[in-house]
Amino acid sequence: MASGGVARGRLTEERKTWRKSHPHGFVAKPATLPDGSVNLMVWKCVVPGKEGTDWEGGYFPVTLHFTENYPSNPPTCKFPRKFLHVNVYACQYLATHGSLPSQCGKFL
């Protein structure tokens, strides 16, 4: 099986699992192509603001872009421009340290 088949097969299974059970308030679904078909390689997601924080009640969009090398390579995350400064910092810090400092916890 080609690597693209592996990526799409994995994403198909993950979509099934997500549709059965996912955290309340979170949204993750594949994008729709102009012909109405599903694009498993691009997912539109929404992360709710954590309760008890300044972000509570907010919904923060992110788009995940998967490559044919998934799951060996992670997806890239693209945020709307207005959230970019916070999210770029968070992603860079996560990549370097593996977790966010406590002051960032209120965003997540």
Q: What is the radius of gyration, based on Cα positions, of the chain?
A: 15
pLDDT at 1 over 60: no
- Domain layout of the chain by residue ranges: 3-80
**Three-state DSSP class for 67?**
coil
Record the pTM.
0.69
Instruction: For residue range 59-89, list pLDDT tens digits in order.
Output: 888 999 999 999 999 999 988 866 544 555 5
**Homologous superfamily of 3-80:** Ubiquitin Conjugating Enzyme (3.10.110.10)
Amino acid at 10: R
Q: Contact at 8 Å (CB) between 46 and 59?
A: yes
pLDDT of residue 50: 87
pLDDT digits (tens, 9 = 90+) for 2-42: 445 999 999 999 999 999 999 988 999 999 999 999 999 99
Q: Whole-angstrom Cα distance, residue 33 to residue 36?
A: 5
Q: Of 71, 7, 72, nearest to 40 (Cα)?
A: 7
